[in-house]
């Protein structure tokens, strides 16, 4: 468990920070983003299924439409945040951060 080691208090604090941030991104944030994308897609598909299966019931069709709309909104928000993050990184020429691979090089920010 390098995450809870005492290396942070010593001279290798920068290396431990890089390891911590890398582990945080790789083990928590990237799977969370993937899970949220999958959840939004499943919510949208559930709305499509609900809309198709209940053609005779207007109330359930409306509910299905709402599920589809909120699924698309969720996907759009996540894609928008990712796009804005990339625009900021490229506009200000920020190096050391690679959102596609989930890596951060903190030596660049010292």
Over residues 79-91, the pLDDT tens digits come to: 888 888 778 878 8
Q: What is the pTM of this model?
A: 0.64
Structure tokens that stand for 90 in this block: 């490229």
Q: How far apart are CA 60 and CA 46, in angstroms?
A: 12
Q: How far apart are CA 71 and CA 49, in angstroms?
A: 13
Q: How far apart are CA 58 and CA 62, in angstroms?
A: 6
56 pLDDT higher than 90: yes
Q: How far apart are CA 9 and CA 26, in angstroms?
A: 23
Structure tokens that stand for 62 in this block: 């409306």
């Amino acid at each position: 468990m390098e995450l809870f080691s005492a290396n942070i208090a010593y001279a290798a604090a920068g290396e431990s920070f890089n390891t911590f941030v890398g582990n945080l991104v790789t083990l928590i944030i990237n799977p969370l983003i993937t899970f949220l994308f999958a959840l939004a897609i499943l919510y949208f598909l559930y709305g499509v299924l609900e809309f198709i299966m209940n053609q005779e019931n207007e109330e359930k069709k409306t509910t299905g439409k709402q599920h589809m709309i909120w699924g698309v909104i969720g996907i759009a928000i996540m894609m928008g945040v990712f796009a804005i993050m990339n625009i900021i990184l490229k506009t200000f020429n920020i190096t050391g951060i690679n959102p596609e691979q989930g890596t951060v090089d903190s030596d660049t920010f010292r």
